[in-house]
Amino acid sequence: MPTHYRTCNLCEAMCGLEIQYEGTTVQTIKGDKNDPLSRGHICPKAVGLKDIYEDPDRLKQPVRRRENGWEVISWEEAYTEVVENIQRIQHQHGKNAVGAYLGNPNAHNVGSILFGRNLLKTLASQNIFSATSADQLPHHYVSTLLFGHMMAIPIPDIDRTDFFLIIGGNPMVSNGSLMTAPDFPKRLRAIQKRGGKVVVIDPRRTETADKADQYIGIKPGHDVLLLLGMLHHLIEKEQVNLRHLEPLIVNLDTIKEIVAPYSSERVATPLGIKASKIRELATEFCSAKSAVCYGRLGVSTQQFGGLCQWLIYLLNMLSGNLDRAGGAMFTQPAFDVMGLGKSTRLNRWKSRVRGLPEFGGELPCVTMAEEMLTEGEGQIKAMFTVAGNPVLSTANGKQLEQAFEQLDFMVSIDIYINETTKFANIILPPATGLETGQYDVIFHQLAIRNTAKYSPPLFEKSDDQRYDWEILQTLAQRLKGEEASLMSPEMVLDFTLQSSPYQLSLAQLKEQPHGVDLGAMNPCLENRLKTKEKTINLAPNELVADLKRVEQSFFNASSPSEYPLYLISRRQLRSNNSWMHNSYRLVKGPKRCTVLIHPNDAKNHQIEHGQAVNVISSKGQIQLPAEVSDEMLEGVVCIPHGWGHAREGVQLQVAKAHAGTSINDLTDEYLIDELTGNTAFSGVRVQLEAISQS
């Protein structure tokens, strides 16, 4: 049977796959043992690639919404209708009247990464949104202020570290994020085998915490206090050790001043973690041979996301662990996105209704619905959604449904008729997954080891299908009235790879189907620093000023809330955000869309394991089964995101039969990190109500 090797494009882990197939049928999908990064690891989602390829609900031709249902139309008809409507609305209401939302799969798609910007440039709208501001915007923000580029994100060197401090990440399930680390379970064990230590800080004793050496429970949104307390101890004990960063560092004295009020004793009370424990953690971190603090989704999607990432960068820098083996390091990928553009720009405009700041050409996605619903000049009248499902993925999805419903025109580039795309007038479906060529432009940049790999399409797309990049290019060209360009992603890839220091070519990569190993990360800070002055300002004004919110939130008396519990989210091994629940083998088994409740909270509310409960926030309420579990910190409940497929008009047969409910019907578009505008999914206040069993 013929065998095909490729990289899985579903999550950030970039696992190498070995696929056996006959004709156009996939027989088996296994891990590729010869992939230098993933070394044979895969997760249960990999077989989802076969299910997506074969999915009868997947769209292959454009469709138009009519009063009595969807009709298949030709590409020509679809493009013409889209271009006419977008131009009509631009002429009537101006460029800002056309908005766009870009979802997560764009980051996994080489064509969309290389060609998607052309459409955005053509639209020239200030109303561009993406999943970035429901996810990792705080990382980009802090990287821009400290290192001069949104992609200058230091990656934990977990293959060499002696102390791995994980705050708000669950890589045993997520397989790592802003840390492409396939085969995380083995890599974690390897740290322990070589005598290192892994510590997890999380409101839930997660799958990662279970495998760690130490777990510390924390109240959602309180991490900023822990980090300030740790830095305070580090500075007080004169453990600052800048090593080779010394000549580059500016404003260390300011850091000493601003951290001074946050002794472990002072932060301990609002934080709910003993002062001695905070000091111990700081001491262990500083005295380890090498150490790295890694903060991910749980400390990004919360009210102090920007501050948390800043303090984490500081902890790594001041303890001498930035740009050093076993610490936080910069990658040197063969395709270097930092080499392409200018340094990142921010704050060039503000959102019209709420005045939240732009970052890298985008506005926070929490402002999207209000920009559609609030009348006045600059109101959004038409939207593109590209590989995104914001109705399930962004805060207050119900409001977004109302907003999409009343648009003048909407286009979705997507493979499904789902909770978001059902509102589109026209859906343009791309070829996807096994039908595409792949080079992970973004995730090689964020990987714990430098490697390069190109995967050709396994199956040819049909003549009547289009790639994402072809759709994006065609729309951009027709909106501009230009001739079609002859460039393809492969051409850009080849050119860029050849001009990299590794001097690779696409042809060479094609000869190495398992990928090419370019070695461990190396110290390279001076090359990666993109600030104008070539220095690192430890204390940018924006970040320093934001500390006043810490004082207001934690050190002023607050009144008790009518919503006594905190809500957080969770990821599940067999889910991928909102869009893979149409694969039967990924959804079968016991119901997974449950609310986890600590036994004491369950007792207080007279809730039994398995009982249906209402979870209520100021934005709405949802009903789901309770799962009583001591893995929760008392006072915190937890619901997975990406469920809620029972909405009318969704054409996903399997997902509808395993619908669940959407956590984002509870989350609040006004609960944000005010500094960056990132959504705060963590820490939404809720109450529970047992539903009596009849």
Task: Report the nearest approach of ligand MGD to the CB of residue 416 (Å).
Answer: 4
Interface with ligand SF4, residue 29, by CB under 6 A: no
- Nearer Cβ to ligand SF4, position 38 or 309? 38
Choose among Mo ion, ligand SF4, ligand MGD, none what residue 62 binds, the Cβ cut-off being 5 to 8 Å by kind: none
669 binding Mo ion? (CB under 5 A): no
Task: Report the amino acid identity of residue 10.
Answer: L
Least distance in angstroms from the C-beta of 58 to ligand MGD: 9
DSSP 8-class letter at 349? E
Q: In this complex, which beta carbon is closest to Mo ion, that of residue 428 or of residue 442? A: 442
- Among residues 175, 316, 451, 473, the one that binds ligand SF4 under rule CB under 6 A: 175
For residue 63, list its beta bridge partners.
Answer: 72, 427
Residues belonging to the chain: 694
Beta bridge partners of 455: 438
CB of 35 to ligand SF4, least distance (A): 10
The CB-of-135 to Mo ion minimum distance in angstroms stands at 4
Report yes or no: 689 and 614 within 8 Å, Cβ to Cβ: yes
Return the number of the residue (245 or 684) whose C-beta is nearest ligand MGD: 684
In degrees and rounded to multiples of 5, residue 537 shows phi and psi of: -85, 110
Q: How far apart are CA 386 and CA 411, in angstroms?
A: 8
Q: Which is nearer to ligand MGD, 36 or 203 (CB)?
A: 203
For the record, the structure tokens of 631 come out as: 């893995």
Nearer to ligand SF4, 175 or 594 (CB): 175
Q: How many residues bind Mo ion (CB under 5 A)?
A: 1
Q: Which of residues 458-517 bind ligand SF4 (CB under 6 A)?
A: none
Query: Do residues 99 and 386 lie in contact, with contact meaning Cβ atoms separated by under 8 Å?
Result: no
| Alpha carbon distance 665, 661 (integer Å) | 8
Q: Shortest Cβ distance from residue 249 to ligand MGD (Å)?
A: 27
Inter-residue contact 604 to 688 (CB < 8 Å): no
**CB of 162 closer than 8 Å to CB of 288:** yes
Residue selected from 4, 5, 6, 8 as contacting ligand SF4 according to rule CB under 6 A: 8
DSSP-derived letter for residue 279 is: H
Contact flags string 90-129 toward Mo ion, x per CB under 5 A: ----------------------------------------
Q: What is the distance between the alpha carbons of residues 151 and 442, in angstroms, rounded to a whole number?
A: 9
Q: Exactly one of 4, 5, 6, 10 binds ligand SF4 (CB under 6 A); which one?
A: 10
8 binds, among ligand MGD, ligand SF4, Mo ion, none (CB under 5 to 8 A by kind): ligand SF4
- By the 10 Å C-beta count (0-12 exposed, 13-18 middle, 19+ buried), 81 is classed as middle
Residue whose C-alpha is closest to residue 563's, from 493, 618, 513: 618
Q: Is 157 in the site for Mo ion (CB under 5 A)?
A: no
**Token pair 């074969």 is at which residue?**
54
Looking at the DSSP bridge assignments, the partners of residue 100 are 128, 384
Smallest separation, CB 517 to ligand MGD (Å): 24
* Residues 130-149 contacting Mo ion, CB under 5 A: 135
Amino acid at site 571: R
Q: Which residue has the tokens 């025109």?
A: 409
**Footprint on this chain of ligand MGD (rule: CB under 6 A):** 11-12, 103-105, 109, 131, 134-135, 167-171, 173-175, 177, 201-204, 206, 218, 220-221, 223, 296-299, 302, 386-390, 393, 413-416, 418, 430, 432, 468, 568-573, 575-579, 641-642, 663-664, 667, 681-683
- The DSSP secondary structure of 106-145, one letter per residue, reads GGG-HHHHHHHHHHHHHHT-S-EEEGGGGTTHHHHHHHHH
**How far is residue 371's CA from residue 362's CA, in Å, rounded to a whole number?**
13
Binder among 6, 45, 466, 478 for ligand SF4 (CB under 6 A): 45
**Interaction of residue 447 with ligand SF4, rule CB under 6 A:** no
Residues engaged in binding Mo ion (CB under 5 A): 135
Instruction: Write out the residues near ligand SF4 by the rule CB under 6 A.
Output: 8, 10-11, 13-15, 42-43, 45-46, 175, 182
